[in-house]
Amino acid sequence: EPEVTQTPSHQVTQMGQEVILRCVPISNHLYFYWYRQILGQKVEFLVSFYNNEISEKSEIFDDQFSVERPDGSNFTLKIRSTKLEDSAMYFCASRLDSLNTEAFFGQGTRLTVV
């Protein structure tokens, strides 16, 4: 069964460093998302991506964040200068279509900023 894959599963980084979280969405899906979940809290939307550009972004997604689809398969989230409060589980998701379909999530990347 097709699935969304994320790498790495766990990343530890020092405050101020740049990190790139990687995702391979399901191959025929057109819509891509990043969500984050601070430990013990709800899942929060960060950004959506369609047709090679950002479709929507939340207020969390400030200038330190960026997304890219550098080739036909990868979808990356970059955090330029990490802060302690960026520590969270980051989920990538993809959807086949925007109409009446569900989002499939990857297994997540746990980012720990020290």
Q: 13 or 37, CB closer to another protein?
A: 37
Q: Assess contact for 11 and 21: CB atoms under 8 A.
A: yes
Q: 14 or 51, CB closer to another protein?
A: 51
Q: Which residues bind another protein (CB under 8 A)?
A: 31-33, 35, 41-45, 48-51, 55-56, 58, 89, 91, 93, 95, 97-108, 110
Tokens linked to 88: 């969270």
Q: 22 or 105, CB closer to another protein?
A: 105
Q: What is the DSSP string of 60-81?
A: T--TTEEEE--SSS-EEEEESS
Q: 24 or 43, CB closer to another protein?
A: 43
Residue 56 burial (CB count, 10 A): 12
Shortest spacing between CB 43 and another protein, in angstroms: 4
Q: Assess contact for 75 and 32: CB atoms under 8 A.
A: yes
Shortest spacing between CB 16 and another protein, in angstroms: 26
* Burial zone of 77 (CB within 10 Å; 0-12 exposed, 13-18 middle, 19+ buried): buried
Shortest spacing between CB 24 and another protein, in angstroms: 15
Shortest spacing between CB 30 and another protein, in angstroms: 8
